[in-house]
Amino acid sequence: MSVLEQAPRFDAAGAERLARDLYGLEAAASPLPGERDQNFLLTTVRGERFVLKIANPAEPLALLEAQNAALARLEPLGICPRVVPTPGGEAIAGADGYRVRLLTWIHGAPLGAVARRPRHLLEEVGRRLGQLSAALDGFDHPALHRRFPWDLQRGFDVVARHSPLVADPALRELVRRVAGYVRARDGRRLARLRRSAVHNDANDYNVLVDPSDDGSVTGILDLGDIVHSYVVAEPAIAVAYAVLDDAEPLEAAAAVVRGFHAMRPLGDDELSVLFGLVLLRLCVSVCMAAAQLRERPGDEYLAISQAPIRRTLPALASIPPDVAEDTLRRACGLDPRFAEPSVAADVTRVRRAERIGPNLSLAYADPVKVTRGWMQYLFDETGRRYLDAYNNVPHVGHAHPRVVAAAAEQMRRVNTNTRYLHDALWRLAEALCATLPEPLRVCYFVNSGSEANELALRIARAVTGRRDVIVLDAAYHGNTTTLIDISPYKFNGPGGDGAPDWVHVAPLPDDYRGPFVRADPAAGRSYGHAVGRLIEAMAERRRQPGAFICETCPSVGGQIVPPPGYLETAYRHVRAAGGVCIADEVQTALGRMGDGFYAFESQGVVPDIVVLGKPLGNGYPLAAVVTTRALAHAFDTGMEFFSTFGGSTVSCAAGLAVLEVVRDEALQAHALRMGARLLADLRPFTARHELVGDVRGRGLFLGIELVRDRATLVPAAREAAVVVNRLRDRGILLGTDGPFHNVLKIRPPMPFADHDADRLVEELDDALGRVAR
Ligand code: PMP
């Protein structure tokens, strides 16, 4: 069967003749779009308008009768055209072997031509469609039980049959994969769904809206695709078109479904498969277009209509179906899908306390039990969604499907260690080195930031033969014995033993709280010279630095961005004294700062050793040390370096996927823009809230320092905790940091978006306004 029946070929004069001969109408005709039928707008001399429809000869008479019967049933809704009979009373007239109908004209602009589609308009589309669906409840006609490729009951067959015709191999693969996934997840549930007559084509050119106000739907047109099928196909098809090119497709889908559900309630199973049917409809559209294109090669209209689907389908396909289901359920006011009532959060807490060491802490007065993550969101056991403005480990987003797929696929094949040849290892090393300047060209992979810092210290010791280390005040570098020894945040904190004699603490280059402030153009160099003075003082005690280790932007130290010139000066002093410069970029790497892939880039230095951790595996344990060939050779002392899990094939696959996503989703540029807009929104807080002493940072690495008194800078730690707990209660996750625990830390997964920023700023503003001092 041809997918594209030959449409009738009347010209305007022919249409005018039909109008005169059959309906006694003196009218001017102009062609309207139509795929199978031929349609004309008729305008009479009195200015009345009608639509003349000349049916495709392949369309059975019974189907036209069914459409007319459906239109009669929908008439009370006032949004569908009415059939105008001939003066002789015929609803379907015949002429020249064609079947002709006259319909009333409905004013309005196609939704597809409206530039702005506010959510309330989409909700109204859903409501109107829900009314239409309710009106068709119980309506039936033998002609509706037809074999029709646009019927979603046949969707998988259509994809199987026509997807080989999709020219673009990436799109072809995607369509097959998506359809296969929908079938695997939803196939059995689909078989049980309730069915009815459905309009089956509420695409954005069949929905008319009032162009003069952006809230009302004036028409739902074209019953040409009417078929007996899944009731839920109705909203699914509307959603499939409403989400195209929408930056927030789930929100757009939720609006349509909310409206539909209000008028025609959907069941659990229907809501469960709805998003899958959205994907299936788009897959069918791609496949049908490919098939039609084969019959009408070079038909640009067919190709152009596919462009938004190509743009949107990959993003839609990467939304976990249960996240979509959850969003749609909540849009309908139903229980969330992620609810896990079997183990309540307080039970989890008790069981954990029984078997887990007591010095593991929990965030928030009311700790969050997480059951799912998706990009910049976390979900708790009740299905509540939290905006994650804190976690930088899921760098490219919680559960990013590309990282998940890469790691799972590699896990299925083999996961082994670096004593065997495997291409993932060198590929990751190459990809990483490509992001770093010369001469940082040799990589070691380990499992944690701590292991990486340990290794960096070992390399520095092997190279210099010295043990002494210079660290920054308030720094944290990891949880091993040696790293606690070089972390003032720990050895000077509760339970700490103070600095060992081989550890030397340089001042934190904090240009808000420290002796040299932001307004001082020499502040960076002054902090750098402090390192030089420390080295002089060490020399007096006959000690020489083996290494200077510092976070380029101290995070635990309070989201500090050192003033310009700091590292340049400090590194100069360290190198002059024969020390190795280690940059701990565990918190700041991979584009987070926006202006560079690494934070050290903005300080105009190249470290001797770079340490990477947290974001590198997007949560899969993966950390790295990158150094120069010279240092790597010096470290090759004859003692093997081996880490059982470090550089495992799966971790390398995950790391590669992370680097690819950062590049492909342009996340560094995104962080730069998002940071600038957040700072622009947050800086005025210093004027609005007395408590806010400083707003600082760059990219998606920001800090808000709270003080009780702007003159003495007395830290407002209790207030910071109150704010963070309030935000947690409001569904936003933040943390505090800094030596006085008074800095609000904003460091979200990189997909953090504009609407997230709006929410964060608004809630922060509110929380800061409420906190009593
Ligand atoms: N360095 C820095 C700067 C860190 O923030 C951390 C962890 N917070 C580490 C090292 C240690 O990393 P891990 O916890 O993966 O061992």
Question: At 5, is the pLDDT very low, low, confident or very high (cuts 50, 70, 90)?
Answer: low
CB 469 within 8 A of CB 549: yes
Distance 587 CA to ligand 1 centre (A): 8
Q: What is the pLDDT of residue 1?
A: 43
pLDDT, one tens digit per residue, over 642-672 is: 999 999 999 999 999 999 999 988 899 999 9
* Range with the poorest average pLDDT among 67-81, 132-146, 170-184, 474-488: 170-184
Buried b (16+ CB within 10 A) or exposed e, 545-557: bbbbbbbbbbbbb
584 Cβ closer than 6 Å to some ligand 1 atom: yes
Residue from 361, 582, 587, 598 whose mutation best tests the ligand 1 pocket (most atoms within 8 A of CB): 587
Is residue 337's pLDDT more than 80? Answer: no
pLDDT, one tens digit per residue, over 491-515 is: 999 999 999 999 999 999 999 999 9
186 Cβ closer than 6 Å to some ligand 1 atom: no
Cβ atoms within 10 Å, residue 182: 24
Q: And the tokens for 735?
A: 């943390």
Its pTM stands at: 0.76
Residue from 393, 450, 489, 747 whose mutation best tests the ligand 1 pocket (most atoms within 8 A of CB): 450
450 Cβ closer than 6 Å to some ligand 1 atom: yes
Residue from 550, 586, 600, 745 whose mutation best tests the ligand 1 pocket (most atoms within 8 A of CB): 586
Q: What is the pLDDT of residue 468?
A: 98
Q: What is the pLDDT of residue 773?
A: 62
Cβ atoms within 10 Å, residue 300: 9
Closest ligand 1 atom to 556 CA = 5
- The residue whose CA has the least distance to atom 7 of ligand 1 is 478
551 Cβ closer than 6 Å to some ligand 1 atom: yes
Highest mean pLDDT among 5-9, 333-337, 710-714: 710-714
Q: What is the pLDDT of residue 762?
A: 98
Is residue 723's pLDDT more than 90? Answer: yes
Exposed/middle/buried for residue 474 (C-beta within 10 Å: 0-12, 13-18, 19+): buried
Query: Per-residue pLDDT averaged across 161-169, rounded?
Result: 92
Rounded mean pLDDT of the chain? 94
pLDDT, one tens digit per residue, over 201-250 is: 999 889 999 988 777 999 999 999 999 999 999 999 999 999 999 988 99
Q: And the tokens for 497?
A: 């033993």
Which residue intervals of 86-232 are DSSP H helices? 119-136, 155-162, 169-191
Q: What are the two backbone dihedrals, phi and then psi, of residue 284, each rounded to the nearest 5 degrees? A: -60, -40
- The residue whose CA has the least distance to atom 10 of ligand 1 is 477
Is residue 772's pLDDT more than 90? Answer: no
Q: What is the pLDDT of residue 303?
A: 67
Is residue 176's pLDDT more than 90? Answer: no
Beta-carbon-side half-sphere exposure of residue 748 (alpha carbons within 13 Å): 28
Residue 190 vs residues 154, 163, 276, 319, 340: alpha-carbon distances, Å: 11, 21, 10, 20, 25
737 Cβ closer than 6 Å to some ligand 1 atom: no
Tell me the β-bridge partners of 53: 39, 101
The percent of residues in the chain predicted with pLDDT above 90, rounded, is 82
Q: Which residue has the higher pLDDT, 341 or 754?
A: 754
Closest ligand 1 atom to 478 CA = 11
SS3 letters across 336-383: CCCCCCCCCHHHHHHHHHHHCCCCCCCCCCCCCCEEEEEECEEEECCC
Buried b (16+ CB within 10 A) or exposed e, 395-407: bbbbbbbbbbebb
pLDDT, one tens digit per residue, over 425-434 is: 999 999 999 9
Tokens 């600095």 belong to residue: 499
Question: At 557, is the pLDDT very low, low, confident or very high (cuts 50, 70, 90)?
Answer: very high
Q: Which residue has the higher pLDDT, 376 or 36?
A: 376
Query: Per-residue pLDDT averaged across 544-560, rounded?
Result: 97
Distance 557 CA to ligand 1 centre (A): 12
Q: Which residue has the higher pLDDT, 314 or 239?
A: 239
Please count the helices (runs of H) and the strands (runs of E) in the chain: 24, 27
Residue 680 makes CB contacts below 8 A (sequence gap 6+) with none
Closest ligand 1 atom to 623 CA = 15
694 Cβ closer than 6 Å to some ligand 1 atom: no
CB 215 within 8 A of CB 327: no
Is residue 553's pLDDT more than 50? Answer: yes
Q: Which residue has the higher pLDDT, 3 or 434?
A: 434
602 Cβ closer than 6 Å to some ligand 1 atom: no
Distance 626 CA to ligand 1 centre (A): 16
479 Cβ closer than 6 Å to some ligand 1 atom: yes
559 Cβ closer than 6 Å to some ligand 1 atom: no
- Round to whole Å and give the CA distance between 650 and 409: 9
- The residue whose CA has the least distance to atom 8 of ligand 1 is 478
Q: What is the pLDDT of residue 717?
A: 97
Distance 427 CA to ligand 1 centre (A): 25
pLDDT, one tens digit per residue, over 353-374 is: 999 999 999 999 999 999 888 8
Distance 369 CA to ligand 1 centre (A): 23
Which amino acid would we find at residue 449?
Answer: G
pLDDT, one tens digit per residue, over 35-74 is: 778 999 999 989 999 999 999 888 899 999 999 999 999 9
586 Cβ closer than 6 Å to some ligand 1 atom: yes
Residue from 393, 469, 476 whose mutation best tests the ligand 1 pocket (most atoms within 8 A of CB): 476
Cis peptide before 439 (omega within 30 of 0): yes
453 Cβ closer than 6 Å to some ligand 1 atom: yes
Is residue 305's pLDDT more than 80? Answer: no
Is residue 143's pLDDT more than 80? Answer: yes
CB 604 within 8 A of CB 562: no
